[in-house]
Amino acid sequence: MSSINKTEHQRNESVSSDDEENFLDDEQDEEQINVLEQVQGLFSSDVFPNVVDMFRAYHSQFDLIDFLKKHQIHSQYDYIRLINYIRSEKPSIETLKQLKSSPSPPWTDEKYFETVIDDDPALQFDIEEDLNQLGDLSITTTNGHDHDELKQANERIRQLEDMVETLKSMTSRFLDDQPSKVTTSVKTKNQDDVQDEGYFATYNHYDIHKEMLQDTVRTESYLECIKSNVDVFRNKVVLDVGCGTGILSMACLKYGQAKMVIAVDMSDMIYDAMAIAKENNMDESKLVFIHGRIEDVTLPVEKVDIIISEWMGYFLLFECMLESIIFARNQYLDKENGLVLPDDFSINMSAFHSDRLYHEHVDYWSNVYGFEMNTITKNILADGHVMIVPAEDIVTSDCCIKNLDVYTCSNDDISFTHPFTLQVLKSGSISGFVCHFDVNFSKNLIEKVHFSTSPRSPSTHWKQTIFFLPRLYSVQEGEDIQGKLICQRHPHEKRGLIIHIHVFDSKFKFYLE
């Protein structure tokens, strides 16, 4: 933290809770005052005492509530653009009333975020909170029958929620009375659910999405596949599994000319994706967002033509999102002509030596300001690590240890055993092994696309997965290093892996958690 930020932080910490409450009260009062300030009329130069009085004065000619409903203006952003559009373009009330509902009304242009009148009280009017100040113009009171129906619907929802809670309680008590074997099964499932919640929560924040989007190798490969294969995507129904910010979904519509895209994501980022799609004027009738796991949701169609997803984790299989792709393939993909993109993968292995990396991550702990911390060294050696390995540090050939065809693979493919032979390219030492994966968009495509996470290729956010050895091993050029790699599902971490490497007459075990 810089000295400036640190001072500011300390200053903020010193503010009492009473001061903070007073500040919040003042802020709320200021918002209320803004709404009640004098305001220039929208359709004339008349000055009104406040925004509420202005809309009431126009009500007989321009019903704000009806207009917002007709043009589906639900967000404050849309309302702000509408006000600035009226201020800037000066349409008559009659012109506005004649406008037909459209996915792209004239005020959707980004330029209407620019204010026409500084500190315009009309822009301070919050359509989500301040509409109740319009009295009988409020949405909830414009129609008594609708209001009664809404109250009844809310009451019914409350009753259903109570019923669900009661059923949950009854189910829990019932399961507690069952033999221990059943109870254990239920606890394991709940543990998986908890781990899933933690996993998906990591994708709620924009930082991780920024990192993935800024990975040009990754993002541009997907976009190239879509742009170069328009005839494949045109008029097709596409399922985007784990849509994130929605960039692939929007690309399928904009560049691929897809008929419809269904974007599914369990993380809360999907709500931002909805706003992003609206911001980019995506046709809402063609882009459907669904919040939930693909295994749990119901799609609006029985079959899709294309499944597209960026599901790959470190070591390709970490996070085990492959299972979701397999489920989507089996459940929704058209069996005759359906495509899954990308579709062909391989995991490759080589050996490396880096004095710098070995010292930073292993040797460092043997002498930390005069203290031995080899306890931590043991943990370092038990884990797989994700980092960039310079190409010049690779000392052997590559060996493919796993091929994966997304059309034929199953959940069993996440666990595998494969022998390897690595030819030493230069004499020296080996400090560990490095794994990377290759990705192909290939089957039935006009233009095929490939990218690699190899140390010899441009770097990606996946980097490489490395496994340090407990000591350096000497090797000679031309020598073959033979061994076996075993990949297993982690028994306690749903999305984790355990990697065994048998080599140099020894067995090494690593965790990817």
C-beta neighbour count of 465 within 10 angstroms: 27
472 vs 353: CA distance, rounded Å:
8
Among 71, 69, 67, CA closest to 55: 67
What's the CA dihedral at 418, 423, 428, 432 to 10 degrees? -20
190 vs 47: CA distance, rounded Å:
62
Relative orientation angle of helices 206-213 and 216-228, to the nearest 10 degrees:
70
Q: Is 310 among the residues known to form the active site?
A: yes
Q: What are phi and psi of 36, to 5 degrees?
A: -95, 5
Pairing of strands 339-341, 306-308: parallel
C-beta neighbour count of 221 within 10 angstroms: 19
Catalytic residue among 8, 161, 165, 310: 310
Q: Enumerate residues 6+ apart whose C-beta is below 8 A from 52.
A: 35, 36, 130, 133, 134
Which pair of structure tokens corresponds to residue 44?
Answer: 């004339």
Q: Enumerate residues 6+ apart whose C-beta is below 8 A from 68.
A: 74, 79, 127
503 vs 324: CA distance, rounded Å:
33
State the DSSP code for 185: H
271 vs 265: CA distance, rounded Å:
10
398 vs 457: CA distance, rounded Å:
13
Which pair of structure tokens corresponds to residue 173?
Answer: 């008590």
Q: Is 319 among the residues known to form the active site?
A: yes
- The sheet carrying 480-489 orders its strands as 416-423, 480-489, 497-503, 506-512
Q: Enumerate residues 6+ apart whose C-beta is below 8 A from 461.
A: 211, 212, 214, 215, 218
Among 242, 321, 243, CA closest to 282: 243
Write out the H or E segment, with its range, that includes residue 238: strand 237-241
Catalytic residue among 30, 319, 323, 372: 319
Assess contact for 265 and 273: CB atoms under 8 A: yes
Based on its alpha-carbon atoms, the radius of gyration of the chain, rounded to whole angstroms, reads: 30
**3-class DSSP string for 468-505:** EEEEEEEECCCCEEEEEEEEEECCCCCCCEEEEEEECC
Assess contact for 39 and 47: CB atoms under 8 A: yes
Q: For residue 119, what are the CA distances in angstroms to 26, 31, 424, 494?
A: 18, 12, 71, 53
List residues with catalytic annotation.
310, 319
